[in-house]
Amino acid sequence: MKLSLVALATALSSAAASPPSYLPFHIPDEMLAQLQAAADPSLTTAKPRTLTEEQLAFQQAMEQQSGDSPVLGFLDDDCGKQTNCGDCTGTKSHFGNNCRWCPQMASNQCYSYGSSSNPCSDEEQQTKPDQCAPLATSRKPVVFLPGLTGSKLDAKTENYKGPSFLCSKNSDWFNIWVSVSQLLPSIYKCTTDEWSLNYNAEDESVSQNPGTSIQYHGGEKSYGASVDAMLGWDMMTHALQAKGYKLGEDLWSAPFDFRMGVKQFMKDDYPKLKALVEQAYDTAGGTPVVFMSISYGGPFGNAFLTDFVDEAWKAKYIDSWISMSGVFNGAPMVVHTLLSGMEMYGVPWLDIDTVRDSLRGWPAMSWLVPSLIEGEEDRVIYYTDDKNYTLSEVANLLEDGGATAAADMKRKQEIIANEDPGVKVHCWFTKDIDTETSFAAHACADDPELITGPGDGTGDLHSLDRCESWADVEVVNYEGLAHSAYMSDETVTKAAVDLVCQ
Ligand SMILES: *[C@@H]1O[C@H](CO)[C@@H](O)[C@H](O)[C@H]1NC(C)=O
């Protein structure tokens, strides 16, 4: 039987199946390498929640690297505060020298004279304002909408009884996503318990486990005029700042608790986003705003535009939307994640079932389960011995596979974020990477064979190409660029910058 399933999977694949390698999560590469390096069997015995000095030092180094404050080399002076060439070369270091601008896309660091971290040679550095390319003279205000796992999350505990004695009973806010120390052996079970959500089918609300709280990093002070709670937007931020963009003037972010779905967004996040867009518009002297989104930021932005604000509001406040890898009908991979669970990055100690169970109550996950779109042909997403489940039966599939909360949320879902948002959209996605599209297993909770089709490695074409039918859309397909790689691609970044400023 196993054999025939393999044959079925192979026959249905548009290309050879590739092994599951990741969730739609983004862990920075260097952090992943560090995690894998830590795969030392001696570490799999219990470690105290209180971190060793080594772990702390590593955590701090990671935070410094992924944070926004430039590493300034040997001297922390005014140079490091500048974000574009003109301001940089017009500022003096402690020694009275002009600060040095090193014109590179991925970085907008401004260096002191002699700074050892400056990667530019003397010839490449710019030290006088007249060497600088002019700043953009017109800049449309930009609001970043992050994706799943794309906001930093902080957790806090109070009289918390976690699954292990290692979990902090009482703590102040600490970084839980994305943090190497919180994913270490044993400790990760505290993490998955802390980020779990309990679903109440009666009012469709979700709640934290008792004694735990989670918010995006920094809470209100990171919303809007800050990118402190954003993960992965460094290159775009730096490229815009190099053109003269400033946080709180024409550059803004809308972090959100990415575990949530549209029900929570309607209540908590969309009112804030609406106020933020109005503030951005006013601050820029009445200039309409550009949304830039990645992945889950697509559905997040889409439901806001289709179901929260009206035509007149959009016409006044929204210039356009640059959507990268927008999954406007979820991703089949999420079904896999919710049913059998997926391998996580090859980090060996993460128990697949524990991680899977912690994700089953997230409204985000059920919202990202693909839906049958009205007027389209139903298709099988999951082949099993007893039953083949089509898209219209996907809630039953979740139920039969034990993901009962997700099944109930899916059944009650009203908004599929695939309708025309009624604004100008630049819809950028990849469709030439082998992507999980459906599955074959004996039973729906078994580890399935993968059937693949076109997509970007995470989202499939059925989801990514929804935007093609919208009225005012310009589609660009980047070749071979994986789902999250848009965030660190120079061509994409340049194209986005060119659209928003001149
Ligand atoms: C599921 O679909 C496959 C391929 O079309 C078919 O061979 C199989 O008999 C179906 N299984 C069930 C239980 O209907």
The residues pairing with 434 across neighbouring beta strands, listed in sequence order, are 454
Q: Based on the fold, state whether residues 117 and 234 are members of the same structural domain.
A: no
Q: Is residue 66 part of a domain?
A: no
- Which of 280, 305, 301, 303 lies closest to 292, judged by CA? 301
Nearest CA to ligand 1 atom 10: 388
Q: Based on the fold, state whether residues 341 and 428 are members of the same structural domain.
A: yes
* pLDDT number for residue 474: 98
Q: Over range 230-237, report the average pLDDT.
A: 94
| Cβ neighbours, 10 Å, residue 55 | 16
* pLDDT number for residue 247: 97
Q: 388: CA distance to ligand 1 center in Å?
A: 6
Q: Based on the fold, state whether residues 337 and 418 are members of the same structural domain.
A: yes
Q: Based on the fold, state whether residues 2 and 103 are members of the same structural domain.
A: no
Highest mean pLDDT among 115-124, 305-314, 438-447: 305-314
* pLDDT number for residue 427: 98
What's the CA dihedral at 170, 171, 173, 178 to 10 degrees? -100
Q: Based on the fold, state whether residues 164 and 180 are members of the same structural domain.
A: yes
pLDDT tens string 269-302:
999 999 999 999 999 999 999 999 999 999 999 9
Q: Is residue 65 part of a domain?
A: no
| Ligand 1 atom having least distance to the Cα of 386 | 13
Q: Based on the fold, state whether residues 204 and 119 are members of the same structural domain.
A: no
Q: Based on the fold, state whether residues 247 and 341 are members of the same structural domain.
A: yes
CA of residue 18 relative to chain centroid, distance: 23
Q: Based on the fold, state whether residues 308 and 357 are members of the same structural domain.
A: yes
Mean pLDDT across the chain, nearest whole number? 87
Q: Based on the fold, state whether residues 411 and 301 are members of the same structural domain.
A: yes
| pLDDT of residue 205 exceeding 70 | yes
Residue 493, H or E segment? helix 490-500
Ligand 1 binding pocket, CB closer than 6 Å:
383, 386-388
Q: What confidence tier does 499 reach under pLDDT thresholds 50, 70, 90?
A: very high
* pLDDT number for residue 176: 94
Q: What confidence tier does 343 reach under pLDDT thresholds 50, 70, 90?
A: confident
Q: Is residue 55 part of a domain?
A: no
Nearest CA to ligand 1 atom 12: 387
Q: 384: CA distance to ligand 1 center in Å?
A: 8
Q: 44: CA distance to ligand 1 center in Å?
A: 43
Percent of all residues in the chain with a pLDDT value above 90, rounded to a whole number:
74
Q: Is residue 64 part of a domain?
A: no
Q: What confidence tier does 186 reach under pLDDT thresholds 50, 70, 90?
A: confident
Q: Is residue 121 part of a domain?
A: yes
Domain ranges, residue 347:
1-40+139-502
Q: What confidence tier does 39 reach under pLDDT thresholds 50, 70, 90?
A: low
Q: Based on the fold, state whether residues 341 and 410 are members of the same structural domain.
A: yes
Q: Is residue 162 part of a domain?
A: yes
Cβ distance 389 to 381 under 8 Å?
A: yes
Residue type, 297: G
Q: 369: CA distance to ligand 1 center in Å?
A: 22
DSSP symbols for 93-142: -TTSPBPEE--BTTB--EE-TT-TT--S-TTT-B-SGGGSPPPPS-B--E
pLDDT tens string 361-398:
999 999 999 999 999 999 999 999 999 999 999 999 99
Lowest mean pLDDT among 111-120, 329-338, 378-387, 414-423: 111-120
**The model's pTM:** 0.87
Q: Based on the fold, state whether residues 326 and 436 are members of the same structural domain.
A: yes
| Ligand 1 atom having least distance to the Cα of 12 | 4
Q: Give the total number of structural domains in the chain.
A: 2
pLDDT tens string 67-110:
334 443 444 578 989 999 999 999 998 878 899 999 888 788 89
Does residue 354 sit in helix, strand or coil?
Answer: helix
CATH number at residue 374: 3.40.50.1820
* pLDDT number for residue 69: 41
DSSP symbols for 50-64: SPPHHHHHHHHHHHH
Q: Over range 165-173, report the average pLDDT.
A: 93
Q: Based on the fold, state whether residues 124 and 148 are members of the same structural domain.
A: no
